[in-house]
A and B are shown apart, each in its own frame.
Chain A
Amino acid sequence: MTPATRTALDVVLRLGITLALTAGFLVVLLVITGYDPGQSLRALVNGAFGSWYAITSATFVRAVPLALTGLAVALAFRAGLLNIGAEGQLLAGAAASTAAAAVLGSSLGAAALPIILLIGMLAGSAWAGIAALLRQRFGVLEVISTIMLNFVALYAVGWLVRGPLQEPSQIYPQSVALDKALQLPVLLAGSRLHVGSLIAVLLAAAAWWWLRNTASGFRLRAVGLNSSAAATSGRINVARVSVSAFLMSGALAGLAGSVEYTGVTYALYENLSPGYGYTAIAVALLARLNPLGVLGTAILFGALQAGGSAMQRDAGVPIALVNVVEAVIILLVIAGDRVRLSLARTAHTVTPESVPPST
């Protein structure tokens, strides 16, 4: 068995175990809180996978921002940076794209769309850049700074949609609806699935290839695995690699915001993201920080959110229950890693005799 197939098998196995445990936990939770588990679970599964429309327009549409932010988190974590700020970077991207759309208007037509997306990426990068700068210059832990910047971004959006970016009638705290020409094209007629899904798939594949095959991708991984060895034995400029990883991570999260704005919401408002940037941490961790795996886990979490909404609608079960389940998945993943690590440690205590002589 090659290491690649072993890893793939391992991921599938982990996913299976995690799903079974999660479903079991959800049933227990439903019983305890007095809901009919059969009916609730049926609503959840139907809401996520019950129809072609549910799959494409509920599950996949939610999976897109989760995949992009999940990639952002995975890339940062691979570099050893705990970027918890995908949510804030997403909002920065959405806000910047809104502003860009407002400035450009319909003057350029659809040609403005790539510019709007690019500006969103730059804004996400810049937002992450604040944390990168604080880390490099003052040693501020990025866990703290990025999580704080999430709130700054959230309230900044709150101010923008009541101030400079508010719609002209000034009644609703949101921006003006995005011009039809500037919206991301729908991919499948009759669904809400937009071109953003293609972008996510392409970027995941590109990130996977880049990490694996290029010198710069390897530098990022080396710094994440052991920054001290990277500097001493690899003569890698750790600061430069860290900062660029942070900026890339922010760009991906910012793009998630731009794509959500131009593909789904068509307007900026405070609750644009139901915490995609936070769920992204679970998406990335469950995928073991593998960019291709992120696509799979993003669909899983997209399904949970889509199903959760359906469960709330059809069975009256509060969506908070789904949030609890998501948190449990994160804990399961982390606990699983711990167990695997300690197992690996015992299995790998190599005695000289246990290694076959080289031939």
Chain B
Amino acid sequence: MTNTNPTASALALRRVHKSFGSVRALHDVTLQVRAGTVHALLGENGAGKTTLMRIAFGLIAQDQGDVLVHGDTMRNHSALNAIANGVGMVHQHFSLVPAMTVAENIALGEYGRFDAKRVSARIRDIGERTGLVIDPQARVSDLSVSAQQRCEIVKALARDARVLILDEPTAVLAPDEASALLQWLRGFVAENSNHAVVLITHKLRDALDFADDITVLRRGESVSTGAADTFTESTLADAMLGPGDRAHAVESEVVPTITRHTDSVGAHHVVLQADALTVHDTRGVQRVKKASFTVRAGEIVGLAAVEGSGQAELLRAVSGLLPPSSGRLHAPADVGFVPEDRHRDALLLDASLTENFALRDAGTRRGRVPWTALAARAADVLRQRDVRAQSVQVMARTLSGGNQQKFILARALDEAPAALVVENPTRGLDFRAAAAVHDALRDARDAGIAILFFSSDLDEVLTLGDRVLVMHDGVLREVPREREVVGRAMLAAS
């Protein structure tokens, strides 16, 4: 099994295709991870990085193409198969059992009797060999996030992983922890010419500083690959962001917006204003750092950020759902909020549309619910906003995703709130439904509503936003409404 040829590939994916329903996730992607190297896999949210690596680890099956581990083609690939062939994966969301000890977690998935002493000895041995020291008897729920990650890596090493796949491993770490991890990964590949690491990330700096090779995915295709020293932050950002989406470009031709709104901005009063707003999430981690911004009546302010930059907390604070920990926030009492996850946060799927419509004021309503009047109003809203449903009596579950979203937006806009906060409103919608949501938002803006609009799709932010804010690692700033500038600010490329 010893492979001394330094150019041999530890892990290779050849011409991989994958679709989920009608959505094309990966198209003809080839990835070659050389033995003895760290290979960074870069791309925006939804570019297909994680899907590609889940295929490599055997968690999902490709539609077409091959997975090769140390030169052997994997047939009927599965995670068990991947582990047996020395591939280990550390997921972005850890797969540990919090109530169990480190030793128990690491023994999970093995067969036969659980011998705590043997497993603990193994963990200590790995600790001595690799420097990844962890107490085998510690309970996982008592460990810090970085220690939990160490536990995940030790788990992979305990199964003799030679190829480690790490999905956004530094996202959860403090800066010094992150650089320690990346240093360790370099050591891991240097130690044995059979070892290799795939590092999924959207941090350009990490890829440039710590990887040997870089592959960039964009919209499910591999757009650029090569040695790390052939890239710069600038070329990487260009590769990741691409020339812009044609569909969106067409749309912006139809509705040219910039001038009209820079004209009208001055005339409108400030509806939302934050000064040095700081927000902690429910676990007490600071997610928004002294953010200041304004949103005026009759404008859409677009917010661009990569996943987990603190935008979710900012939007919830502005909507009045999460109390800020310091700073000042001026917002009207009635801020409409359209959350990203409509099934989890916006709808009672097994209740009627009338009841879902009534949900908006459920928290403050007193006495009897005027169901007849509400049903009539809901029916009006369905008509006006072209929400396609048989009647207001049907369960929300029976609507298509696009109609659910139109309904949610219509509910938030009913009785014209002064401000509206929208989070990724077109996620999972097809083009036609997304266009309808865009139209509804533009109509709301033209009616004088102040809109704060977040999308993980940069082009959508540029298309809809009259002004653009960018958030990176909790820090918010306003940038010119130019694709390249926004894209780089989002990725923190200089």
Contacts and interface: CB of A to CB of B under 8 A. Distances in A.
Nearest to B403: A355
B344 A226 contact: yes
Interface string A325-359: 00000000000000000000000101110011111
A219 interface: yes
B435 to A, nearest CB: 14
Contact of A232 (B346, B388, B400): B346
Interface in B55-70: none
Contacts of B411: 233
A223 to B, nearest CB: 9
Nearest to B397: A348
A107 interface: no
Interface stretch (B155-163, B189-197, B253-261, B362-370): B362-370
A233 B387 contact: no
Given A225-B350, A226-B348, A358 B362 contact: no
Contact of A222 (B345, B348, B367, B398): B348
Nearest to A226: B348
Contact of A225 (B339, B348, B369): B348
Contacts of A356: 388, 390
Nearest to A231: B321
Contacts of B371: 213
B364 A228 contact: no
Interface stretch (B32-40, B352-360, B444-452): B352-360
Contacts, number: 100
B201 to A, nearest CB: 30
* Majority DSSP secondary structure for residues of B touching A: loop
B345 A229 contact: yes
B367 A358 contact: no
Contacts of A228: 344-345
Contact of B362 (A213, A236, A350, A355): A236
A357 B320 CA distance: 36
B383 interface: yes
A219 B346 contact: no
B161 to A, nearest CB: 35
B367 A215 contact: yes
A233 B368 contact: no
Nearest to A210: B368
A169 interface: no
A213 B388 CA distance: 27
Given A218-B369, A355-B390, A229 B399 contact: no
B360 A233 contact: yes
B389 interface: yes
Given A222-B348, A235-B363, A3 B393 contact: yes
A282 to B, nearest CB: 22
A229 B359 contact: yes
Contacts of B454: none
B318 interface: no
A215 B386 CA distance: 28
A8 B337 CA distance: 37
A265 interface: no
Q: Most B CB atoms within 10 A — which of A221, A222, A225, A226?
A: A226
B390 A226 contact: no
Interface residues on B, range: 35 or more
Contact of B345 (A214, A225, A232): A232
A222 B345 CA distance: 12
A219 B355 CA distance: 10
B347 A348 contact: no
Interface in A228-273: 228-237
A74 B351 CA distance: 17
B265 interface: no
Interface in B387-417: 387-390, 393, 395, 397-400, 402-403, 408, 411
Contact of A235 (B355, B362, B395): B362
A222 B390 contact: no
Contacts of B389: 355, 358
B391 to A, nearest CB: 10
B382 interface: yes
Contact of A237 (B363, B390, B400, B402): B363
A117 to B, nearest CB: 27
A236 B337 CA distance: 14
Contact of A355 (B344, B361, B367, B388): B388
B181 interface: no
A358 B386 contact: yes
B346 A218 contact: no
Contacts of A230: 348, 359, 362
A96 to B, nearest CB: 32
Given A233-B345, A355-B388, A222 B362 contact: yes
B368 A213 contact: yes
B388 A222 contact: no
Interface in B319-342: 320-321, 337, 339
B398 A350 contact: yes
Contacts of B386: 358
Contacts of A234: 359-363
Interface string B89-110: 0000000000000000000000
Interface in A176-235: 213-215, 218-219, 221-222, 225-226, 228-235
Contacts of B361: 234
Given A232-B346, A234-B362, A348-B397, A213 B369 contact: yes
B351 A232 contact: no
Q: Most B CB atoms within 10 A — which of A225, A348, A357?
A: A225
A230 B360 CA distance: 9
A345 to B, nearest CB: 9
A351 B408 CA distance: 19
Contact of B359 (A213, A233, A348): A233
Contacts of A233: 337, 339, 345-347, 359-360, 408, 411
Q: Most A CB atoms within 10 A — which of B362, B398, B402?
A: B362
Contacts of A358: 382-383, 386-389
B177 to A, nearest CB: 28
Nearest to B430: A352
Contact of B400 (A219, A226, A236, A352): A352
A350 B359 contact: no
Contacts of A222: 348, 351, 355, 359, 362
Contacts of B369: 213-215, 218
Contacts of B344: 226, 228-229
Nearest to A217: B369
A232 B337 CA distance: 8
Q: Which 9 A-B pairs have the closest CB atoms?
A: A235-B363, A215-B365, A234-B362, A232-B345, A225-B348, A234-B359, A355-B388, A236-B363, A348-B398
Given A226-B349, A229-B359, 5 more contacts: A215-B362, A232-B337, A235-B320, A235-B321, A352-B402
29 contacts: A3-B393, A214-B368, A215-B366, A218-B362, A221-B355, A222-B351, A225-B351, A226-B349, A228-B344, A229-B345, A229-B347, A230-B348, A231-B321, A232-B345, A233-B345, A233-B346, A233-B347, A233-B359, A234-B363, A235-B321, A350-B398, A350-B399, A351-B400, A352-B400, A352-B402, A355-B390, A356-B388, A356-B390, A358-B383
